[in-house]
Each structure stands twice: as structure tokens, then as C-alpha cells.
């Protein structure tokens, strides 16, 4: 049992959780009796035996059965979603959200002192008006003023809750690019097919899609047995320190560690690959390290320059890092290898040599290496497996005729799920150590002072300068735990996979039981989400998934993080259907 109802009735606390009051759960005796009676007729897939439904763990890419919710409201709400009236309502919901520029910045000051936060207050007022039943029924606490924490309290406190998340903030629009947008970036313009504007895709579509689903379920009288918690951060695009971090602290205080059955956040979607539609919910996340490289050396007049200025030395160091990328090799333990197994099992047009190599690689090291050679010719594939590095920031010098005394760069590293922050630090240190010796620099790597040379002695000249490696923003992140996709602990993955397949079929009017229209494969997004702060809130059951066709933009770029961000209205409708299906399936499931 967990502390259900801990958020209290609709609450507007401006910062902390002290004002959160328990809400009494009504004893719905009649409803409970009906549920108990109905449970006797639930298909075996929905009962405890489901955790043993698939026992052949040697079979690659095991597929879950299509899970259509039993509740008849699922069908009736699906019919509502198909109407033009609901489509118009959905357009208004998302367009209204897009019109409020909830931009987040890397240099945000504290909430209350930086006026740029004020747009989030407007956004909250919009949500209150747009989703009246959500705010009349669910409990709400505002964490650190702008983080939103909702609780839809269920009637059965013995069931662990589910955490569904999204983020309110968007990447700022570069003012110099405004004229390049087809429609103004915060217009929320609907052209009959697409909604245009910053945040229409990332990630207001997820937030609005979830609230739209719940609002519609409430309109139709749905009462959950399982509790559902919604957490909406306010600075996901700027590391989440003010939003998700504070939300995680609040949830840990209210619910405790490992309190949630599973967590779903933004992430992978579905697209056609090798003639088959594959959905790839993220079951892992790479770690990250923003490596700062600082060089300092004596200044002076540029008319009498040394052989190498501070900027010149820094440039040589950065070239050395790029000349020595992290090695990448295919491993059967990587998430991407599981994805490839699914491609081999279900890809209708996958080249026969690739299919054969994937199959053979399961029991042959030579084939595994050959597979890596074939796959890693595409940098995008290599990025899914290995640690990457990108030089993104550089600064140095103050005057054209003055030698620069300081120069630094920041190298963003995304750490493989099979590696660690420690290994990333070691690789960078070992790569740059010879050059530190060559340029006679005192080398300090993450607080450890390293000798300039193995044969350094008292007669050696004093160090010309210093080289310091550090964590640029003190936000290094270890790779996330990998969510189970097979075995006794894979119940949440099977539920999600079955829900994806049911939603895909229903939205296209396909056979409700067909299990080959879309294949679900373990996936991994290349970036990080707010779930970086939620690891201990669930026992390793975290999914990063947006139910949308990531490969179908009608010939137009979706514009995420750039000009012309947009979202097809049909995609939003399918997102709403997905959340409806997911909530109902999780509510009915007893095998988790």
C-alpha cells in the first residue's frame, strides 16, 4: 500500500510540499463489488498469469499481445476522438498552449528574481481554464512555484501508482530567425492539417495530449482504481534544476522511493524501417559530461608572441580530442543490439546479408564485429552505442593586441550505457596528458594534479601554464538503469508494448487483434529527459516514448529546436488515444 491521496484536493502551493493535505478516498462499495465481479471475466492476459505468458526468453524480439482496454469507455471515447468536433477542440487545446512562450534559458536566475519565469504563470492560468474537470477532480501542487504535480487518486490504495510526465518549457526562438518561420513562432496557427509554433511538438503535444485524454475520460465518467500522478517540469530544456529536480524531491517525500509501478516520459516514437512499422520506446538513457578544458599562460603584448598562445594550445588540445574519439564496438548488451534483433525478425525488406549477420552475431564474435562494421558506417547508429563528444563552446582573449591569458572550451560528451562517467574522464585525461607534457603545462584533471613528465626533475623549467579539466556545470550524469524488456520483471514493458499496438490499430481502424501492423522494439533516445531525476522513484521501470510517427512529417521537417516546428493534428489525436489506452490498461492490469 502507498500513501494515496497525499496531494489533497486541488491545491495551489507556491513552493514546497508542506501545505499538501491528505484527501479521504470515498468508499465506493458498489463499484468495488462490480470490479471484483468483472475481474473474474478478464482475459488471462490482464491477470497475474500474464507475467509468465512468454517463457521462451531465447527468442529474439518477443512481441506482447495487443492489449485493448476492457472498459467499454475505451471504444466510446475512441469514437469521440474520431469526430470533427473533438478534432476542433484538440486544435484549440494545443494552439492555445503554443501561444504562450514558456521559453527556458541556460542562464535562468532563481524563480522569483528572474522576470523571464513569468510566462509560466500565464501558462498555468491557461491550463486551469482549458481543462476545468482536470482541475476540479485531480489534486494539484505547485512545486517551486512552476513545477506542476497532479494526482488522480484511485479507489484502490493497494495498487502502486503510475507516473506520467512531460515538460512545459520550450527552446527559445532565435529572434534573427523569426522571418524564416512559415507562420509566426507563437501563433499556434492551424492550416487545416498542422498546428505550427514552438512547442507544438516538443513537448506541449505530450502535456496537452495527456491532459486532453484525462479531461475527456472525466467527461465520460471514468473513475480510476489505480492512482495516476502527473509531473510537469518547467526547465527540461535547461537541465531541469528548477523543475524536475524539485518535483523528484517532492515525490520522494510524498510517495517514497520505488513508489511508482512505472514511469513514462517523452522519447522515441514509431516509424517505418525495412518495410515494417517499428515503435521504439526508450528503455535506457546515455550518461553525460560537459567537459571543460581550461588553459592559462602568461599574457603580454602580441608584438612579442610566444610560439603558442593560450588559444593556440587550446586549439591543439581540441584537435587531439577529435582525433581520438571514443572507440565504439557492437555489443550484445547494448539496447541498440536488441533493436537490431527486432529488425532482423520482422523487417520485411531488410537486406539478407544484414539479417543473416544479425542472426549469426548472437553466437559468433566474428559476426558481431562484422555487424558493427556494417552498422557503424552511419554515425547515427554509432551514436546510439558508443560515447560521443562534441565541442560546443569556446572562449578566449579580450583584445586583438594582448596575449590571451585564459581560454576555455566545453566538450559535450554523451556516455554509452555500457560505460561510465569515470571512464569518460579517464579517456579525456589520457588523451590530453601527452600534450600537457609537450607544452610544459601543469595538468590538473578533476582535482587531481598530474606530473608534467615522467622524467621531470629539479632541473626542469617551471611550468609555462596550466591545463585544467573539470565538469563545466557540475551536472555530470551516469548512464540510466536499463528497463527490463523480458523475464519476470518485464510486466510494465509488455503493458506499454501491448498498448502501443492497440492504439496503432484503433486509430487506423485496423483489426483490433492484429499483431503484425506495428512491431515494438526496445529503443534508446540519444538525449536525456527529466527522468534523469526520477530513477529511484520506480524500480527501474522507466520508458521514454511519444506515440507519434517520427518518420512521417509529410515532407516537412518537424522543426524541433529549430525553425517551423509543427505537429499534424492527426498526431495529436493519436497521442490522446494513446494516453487513454495506457491509463485504462494500467488501471485494469493486476500483473504489474
Show which residues are catalytic: 169, 236
Q: How far apart are CA 132 and CA 146, in angstroms?
A: 19
Q: How far apart are CA 533 and CA 7, in angstroms?
A: 20
Residue 301: strand pairing partners? 402
Q: How far apart are CA 101 and CA 237, in angstroms?
A: 13
Which stretch of DSSP H or E encloses residue 466?
A: strand 465-471
Q: How far apart are CA 502 and CA 525, in angstroms?
A: 23
Q: Which of 542, 564, 538, 539 is nearest to 553 (CA)?
A: 564
CA dihedral of 379, 383, 384, 389, whole degrees rounded to 10: 180
- Site of grid cell 596528458: 433
3-state secondary structure of 116: helix
Residue 390: strand pairing partners? 412
DSSP assignment of 366-392: HHHHHHHHHHTTSHHHHHHHS-EEEEE
- Site of grid cell 514509431: 270
E strands present in 334-429: 388-396, 406-415
- Neighbouring C-beta atoms of residue 466, cutoff 10 Å: 16
386 and 293 Cβ atoms separated by less than 8 Å: no
3-state secondary structure of 508: coil
CA distances to 71, 231, 548, 579 from 216, rounded to whole Å, are 15, 19, 20, 11
- Site of grid cell 590538473: 444
Q: How far apart are CA 115 and CA 376, in angstroms?
A: 46
State the burial class of residue 99 (Cβ atoms within 10 Å of its Cβ: 0-12, 13-18, 19+): middle
- Neighbouring C-beta atoms of residue 8, cutoff 10 Å: 18
What's 179's DSSP letter?
G
Amino acid at each position: 500500500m502507498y500513501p494515496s491521496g497525499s496531494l489533497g484536493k486541488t491545491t495551489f502551493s507556491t513552493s514546497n510540499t508542506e501545505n499538501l493535505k491528505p484527501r479521504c478516498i470515498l468508499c465506493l462499495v458498489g463499484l468495488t463489488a462490480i470490479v471484483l465481479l468483472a475481474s473474474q471475466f478478464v482475459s488471462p492476459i490482464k491477470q497475474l498469469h500474464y507475467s509468465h505468458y512468454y517463457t521462451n526468453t531465447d527468442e529474439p524480439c518477443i512481441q506482447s499481445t495487443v492489449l485493448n482496454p476492457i472498459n467499454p469507455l475505451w471504444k466510446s471515447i475512441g469514437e469521440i476522438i474520431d469526430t470533427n468536433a473533438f478534432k476542433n477542440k484538440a486544435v484549440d487545446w494545443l494552439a492555445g498552449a503554443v501561444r504562450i512562450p514558456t521559453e527556458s534559458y541556460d542562464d535562468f536566475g532563481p524563480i522569483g528574481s528572474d522576470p523571464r519565469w513569468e510566462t509560466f504563470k500565464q501558462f498555468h492560468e491557461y491550463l486551469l481554464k482549458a481543462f476545468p474537470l482536470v482541475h476540479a477532480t485531480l489534486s494539484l501542487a505547485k512545486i517551486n512555484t512552476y513545477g506542476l504535480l497532479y494526482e488522480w487518486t484511485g479507489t484502490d490504495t493497494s495498487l502502486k501508482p503510475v507516473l506520467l510526465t512531460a515538460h512545459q518549457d520550450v527552446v527559445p526562438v532565435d529572434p534573427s530567425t523569426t522571418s524564416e518561420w512559415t507562420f509566426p513562432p507563437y501563433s499556434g496557427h492551424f492550416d487545416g492539417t498542422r498546428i505550427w509554433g514552438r512547442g507544438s511538438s516538443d513537448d506541449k503535444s505530450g502535456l496537452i495530449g495527456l491532459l486532453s485524454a484525462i479531461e475527456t475520460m472525466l467527461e465520460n465518467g471514468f473513475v480510476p482504481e489505480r492512482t495516476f500522478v502527473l509531473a510537469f517540469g518547467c526547465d527540461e530544456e535547461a537541465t531541469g534544476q528548477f523543475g524536475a529536480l524539485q518535483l523528484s524531491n517532492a515525490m520522494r517525500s510524498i510517495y517514497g522511493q520505488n513508489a511508482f509501478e512505472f514511469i513514462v516520459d517523452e522519447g522515441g516514437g514509431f516509424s517505418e524501417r525495412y518495410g515494417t512499422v517499428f515503435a521504439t520506446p526508450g528503455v535506457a538513457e546515455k550518461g553525460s559530461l560537459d567537459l571543460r578544458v581550461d588553459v592559462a599562460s602568461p599574457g603580454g603584448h602580441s608584438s612579442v608572441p610566444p610560439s603558442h598562445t593560450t588559444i593556440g594550445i587550446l586549439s591543439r588540445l581540441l584537435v587531439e580530442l577529435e582525433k581520438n574519439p571514443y572507440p565504439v564496438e557492437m555489443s550484445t548488451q547494448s539496447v541498440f543490439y536488441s533493436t537490431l534483433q527486432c529488425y532482423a525478425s520482422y523487417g520485411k525488406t531488410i537486406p539478407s546479408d544484414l539479417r543473416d549477420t544479425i542472426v549469426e552475431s548472437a553466437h559468433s564474435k566474428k559476426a558481431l564485429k562484422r555487424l558493427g562494421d556494417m552498422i557503424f558506417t552511419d554515425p547515427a547508429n554509432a551514436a546510439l552505442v558508443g560515447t560521443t563528444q562534441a565541442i560546443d563552446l569556446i572562449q578566449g582573449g579580450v583584445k586583438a593586441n594582448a596575449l590571451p591569458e585564459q581560454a576555455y572550451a566545453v566538450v559535450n560528451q554523451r556516455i554509452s550505457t555500457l560505460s561510465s562517467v569515470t571512464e569518460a574522464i579517464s579517456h579525456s585525461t589520457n588523451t590530453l596528458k601527452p600534450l600537457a607534457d609537450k607544452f610544459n603545462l601543469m595538468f590538473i584533471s578533476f582535482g587531481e594534479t598530474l606530473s608534467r613528465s615522467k622524467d621531470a626533475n629539479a632541473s626542469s623549467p617551471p611550468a609555462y601554464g596550466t591545463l585544467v579539466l573539470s565538469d563545466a556545470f557540475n551536472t555530470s550524469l551516469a548512464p540510466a538503469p536499463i528497463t527490463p524488456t523480458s523475464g519476470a520483471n518485464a510486466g510494465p514493458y509488455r503493458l506499454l508494448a501491448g498498448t502501443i499496438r492497440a492504439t496503432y490499430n484503433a486509430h487506423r481502424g485496423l483489426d483490433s487483434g492484429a499483431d503484425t501492423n506495428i512491431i515494438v522494439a526496445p529503443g534508446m533516445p540519444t538525449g536525456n529527459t527529466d527522468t534523469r531525476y526520477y530513477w529511484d522513484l520506480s524500480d527501474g521501470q522507466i520508458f521514454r516514448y511519444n506515440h507519434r510517427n517520427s518518420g512521417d512529417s509529410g515532407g516537412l521537417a518537424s522543426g524541433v529546436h529549430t525553425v517551423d516546428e509543427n505537429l499534424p493534428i492527426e498526431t495529436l489525436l493519436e497521442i490522446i488515444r494513446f494516453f487513454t489506452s495506457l491509463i485504462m490498461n494500467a488501471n485494469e492490469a493486476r500483473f504489474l
